[in-house]
């Protein structure tokens, strides 16, 4: 049947349509193909091949030029692959790399076939080339990252374990064997529970459930090493979920050997408990010794006072009278020191009970100043008292309030040089009676102030003055004031003087420590 012009036009149109679609496919998939005719040596490159090579599509295809663009070692691979394909009549594949680092297609994979003629001879060689530069570089980057992560996990001192959805171990770092001496099989499923110290089973219960999204589960417990001893482990669990979703994938476990830290903490705790027990025992001992220490000392003071006053006649020598006075004064000083120590011990032991009653604070101040006036005069000091006209009374322990005043005044007299002044003042402020004792003494360095108010702490530049006390005065003042629900404040400047302020709540019944 003769072919009409319309048929030819249709065939041409169909061919052009197919070529256009093929060209589009080459563009989209970044591939091209070539064909070499072995009969006449002619070469054909598809449009995609020209694009792949970045060559002007109007230039003739050149197989020798194409081979020259490859690395020398790749050219040898290409020659061998095509020669073997022709010899064995089989398809061929190879990968080539560009010599020029600036071309777009740096790495190209080629898959080829042979066209066989009726006589069994190879007529032509056809190859399809794919630009795989991006894929190869991405794969190399992924392998590099994986190698880095593998190195990190294998060299890390922490144990890293990845659990699957069913609880099985998908991965465990080599630290598992280094730290605990076990393999993955040794810790699979419930076998890990057998390694936990019996006393720490409550701890492991904290990490038995699956972590919620964003949740971190932690626990610290002992695990038995493969050699028999126990190792303290700090365990952290987090769930790994799918990207962009909350679907559970895996659980990551980080286990760290904290044996050294835990042993230090336990030793520190034990030492603290021993120190606290020893301190309590000391405080209980001193508190219980109150009667035993004071009774004989009161007898010494009492009988010495009788001798000093010569109530039953002359002592027979003026020197005996002087000795009696010295014994009496020393006994009084010793009694004051013992009283301070015993009161401090009682406070620390929690045995000091306040005898709360209505106390005339202004009268107590006047009595305390009167008792120490002679001592101040002997030291060349002047005591100035500023008391409101209206009497101030508060609910407090009378003896404790007087003890606070005497301690503050004694300290001021002790650390103020001759010619100085001591000022005592009291005022009502925010429901408290605020008492201050200010002197013009040697003062205290600013960096030493935080130490004052603690038992047996002294700050004094004069060694002779420092030796004359126990360092309990301000500690006892602070303790007694706080026992009433008040507070103490110290302000001082070297060479200028010191001011100690204490506040007693007017009605402390509901704030007094038990």
Q: What is the CATH number of the domain that holds 187?
A: 3.30.450.20
In the prediction, which pLDDT does 473 show? 72
In the prediction, which pLDDT does 11 show? 47
In the prediction, which pLDDT does 469 show? 47
Whether residue 149 is contained in a domain is answered as no
Is residue 316 located within the same domain as residue 374? no
| CA-to-CA dists, residue 424 to 183, 375, 482, 491, angstroms | 78, 16, 20, 15
Is residue 189 located within the same domain as residue 292? no
User: Could you tell me which residue, 75 or 309, shows the higher pLDDT?
Assistant: 75
* Last-in-domain residue among 304, 326, 347: 347
User: Could you tell me which residue, 468 or 26, shows the higher pLDDT?
Assistant: 26
Is residue 456 located within the same domain as residue 472? yes
Is residue 240 located within the same domain as residue 185? yes
**pLDDT tens digits for range 15-27:** 554 455 566 667 7
Number of domains in the chain: 4
User: Could you tell me which residue, 336 or 422, shows the higher pLDDT?
Assistant: 422
Whether residue 363 is contained in a domain is answered as yes
Entry field: residues in the chain: 514
In the prediction, which pLDDT does 390 show? 85
The vertex-47 CA angle with 45 and 49, nearest 5°, equals: 55
Residue 490 CB-density burial (10 A; 0-12 exposed, 13-18 middle, 19+ buried): middle
Rounded CA separation 396/358 (Å): 7
Query: Is 456 a residue whose pLDDT tops 70?
Result: no
* CATH number where 358 lies: 3.30.565.10
For residue 71, what pLDDT band results from cuts at 50, 70 and 90?
very high
Whether residue 136 is contained in a domain is answered as no
Is residue 272 located within the same domain as residue 161? no
User: Could you tell me which residue, 83 or 289, shows the higher pLDDT?
Assistant: 83
Whether residue 151 is contained in a domain is answered as no
Contact 136, 127 (CB under 8 A): no
Whether residue 277 is contained in a domain is answered as yes
* End-to-end Cα spacing for the chain: 123
Is residue 401 located within the same domain as residue 361? yes
Query: Is 446 a residue whose pLDDT tops 60?
Result: yes
Is residue 331 located within the same domain as residue 376? no
Domain extent at residue 98: 5-131
In the prediction, which pLDDT does 73 show? 93
Which of the residue ranges 196-200, 238-242, 261-265, 356-360 would you say has the lowest mean pLDDT? 238-242
Rounded CA separation 506/487 (Å): 13
Backbone angles phi, psi at 76, to 5 degrees: -65, -40
Query: Is 479 a residue whose pLDDT tops 80?
Result: yes
The average pLDDT across 446-467 equals 55
Q: How many CB atoms lie within 10 A of CB 126?
A: 15
Smallest CA-to-CA distance from 97 within 155, 140, 157 is with: 140
User: Which residues lie below 8 Å from residue 247, measured CB to CB, with a gap of 6+?
Assistant: 241
| CA-to-CA dists, residue 266 to 218, 240, 273, 274, 364, angstroms | 19, 34, 10, 12, 50
Query: Is 389 a residue whose pLDDT tops 80?
Result: yes
* Last-in-domain residue among 313, 347, 381: 347
Is residue 485 located within the same domain as residue 433? yes
In the prediction, which pLDDT does 48 show? 87
Dihedral of the alpha carbons of 436, 440, 442, 446, in degrees to the nearest 10: 50
Is residue 501 located within the same domain as residue 358? yes
Rounded CA separation 514/2 (Å): 124
For residue 464, what pLDDT band results from cuts at 50, 70 and 90?
very low
In the prediction, which pLDDT does 244 show? 64
Residue 419 CB-density burial (10 A; 0-12 exposed, 13-18 middle, 19+ buried): exposed
Rounded CA separation 180/255 (Å): 11
**pLDDT tens digits for range 111-162:** 999 999 888 889 999 999 999 988 888 888 888 877 777 666 666 778 888 8
* CATH number where 277 lies: 1.10.287
Is residue 239 located within the same domain as residue 336? no
Is residue 250 located within the same domain as residue 301? no
* Last-in-domain residue among 194, 227, 257: 257
Contact 347, 479 (CB under 8 A): yes
Whether residue 238 is contained in a domain is answered as yes
pTM of the model: 0.43
Query: Is 86 a residue whose pLDDT tops 60?
Result: yes
3 state SS for 229-245: CEEEEEEEEEEEECCCC
Smallest CA-to-CA distance from 424 within 371, 360, 369, 477 is with: 369
The average pLDDT across 331-357 equals 75
In the prediction, which pLDDT does 152 show? 67
In the prediction, which pLDDT does 510 show? 46
Is residue 323 located within the same domain as residue 367? no
Whether residue 20 is contained in a domain is answered as yes
Whether residue 495 is contained in a domain is answered as yes
Rounded CA separation 204/193 (Å): 8
């Amino acid at each position: 049947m003769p072919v009409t012009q319309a048929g030819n036009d249709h065939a041409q149109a169909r061919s052009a349509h197919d070529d256009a679609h093929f060209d589009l496919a080459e563009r989209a998939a970044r591939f091209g193909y070539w064909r070499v005719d072995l009969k006449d040596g002619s070469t054909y490159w598809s449009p995609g091949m020209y694009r792949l090579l970045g060559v002007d599509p109007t230039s003739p295809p050149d197989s020798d030029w194409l081979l020259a663009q490859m690395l020398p070692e790749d050219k040898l691979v290409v020659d061998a692959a095509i020669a073997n394909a022709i010899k064995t009549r089989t398809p061929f594949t190879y990968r080539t790399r560009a010599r020029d680092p600036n071309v777009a297609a740096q790495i190209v994979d080629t898959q080829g076939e042979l066209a066989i003629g009726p006589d069994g001879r190879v007529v032509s060689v056809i190859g399809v080339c794919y630009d795989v530069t991006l894929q190869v570089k991405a794969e190399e980057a992924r392998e590099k990252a994986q190698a880095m992560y593998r190195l990190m996990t294998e060299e890390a001192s922490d144990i890293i374990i990845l659990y699957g959805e069913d609880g099985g171990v998908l991965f465990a770092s080599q630290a598992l064997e280094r730290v605990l001496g076990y393999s993955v099989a040794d810790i699979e499923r419930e076998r890990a529970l057998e390694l936990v110290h019996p006393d720490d089973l409550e701890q492991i219960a904290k990490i038995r459930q699956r972590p919620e999204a964003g949740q971190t589960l932690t626990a610290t417990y002992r695990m038995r090493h493969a050699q028999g001893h126990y190792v303290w482990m700090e365990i952290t669990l987090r769930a790994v979920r799918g990207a962009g979703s909350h679907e559970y994938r895996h659980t990551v476990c980080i286990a760290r050997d904290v044996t050294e830290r835990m042993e230090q903490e336990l030793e520190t705790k034990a030492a603290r408990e021993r120190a606290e027990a020893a301190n309590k025992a000391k405080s209980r001992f001193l508190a219980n010794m109150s009667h035993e220490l004071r009774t004989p000392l009161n007898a010494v003071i009492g009988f010495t006072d009788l001798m000093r006053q010569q109530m039953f006649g002359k002592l027979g020598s003026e020197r005996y009278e002087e000795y009696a006075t010295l014994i009496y004064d020393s006994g009084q000083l010793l009694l004051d020191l013992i009283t301070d120590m015993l009161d401090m011990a009682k406070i620390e032991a929690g045995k000091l009970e306040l005898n709360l009653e209505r106390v005339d604070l202004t009268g107590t101040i006047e009595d305390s100043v009167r008792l120490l006036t002679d001592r101040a005069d002997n030291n060349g000091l002047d005591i100035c008292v500023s008391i409101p006209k209206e009497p101030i009374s508060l609910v407090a322990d009378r003896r404790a309030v007087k003890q606070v005043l005497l301690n503050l005044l004694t300290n001021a007299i002790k650390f103020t040089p001759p010619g100085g002044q001591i000022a005592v003042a009291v005022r009502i402020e925010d429901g408290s009676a605020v008492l201050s004792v200010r002197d013009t003494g040697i003062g205290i360095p600013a960096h030493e102030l935080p130490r004052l108010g603690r038992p047996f702490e002294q700050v004094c530049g004069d060694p002779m003055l420092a030796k004359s006390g126990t360092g309990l005065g301000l500690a006892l003042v602070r303790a007694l004031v706080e026992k009433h629900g008040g507070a103490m404040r110290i302000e001082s400047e070297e060479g200028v003087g010191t001011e100690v302020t204490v506040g007693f709540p007017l009605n402390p019944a509901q704030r007094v420590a038990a």
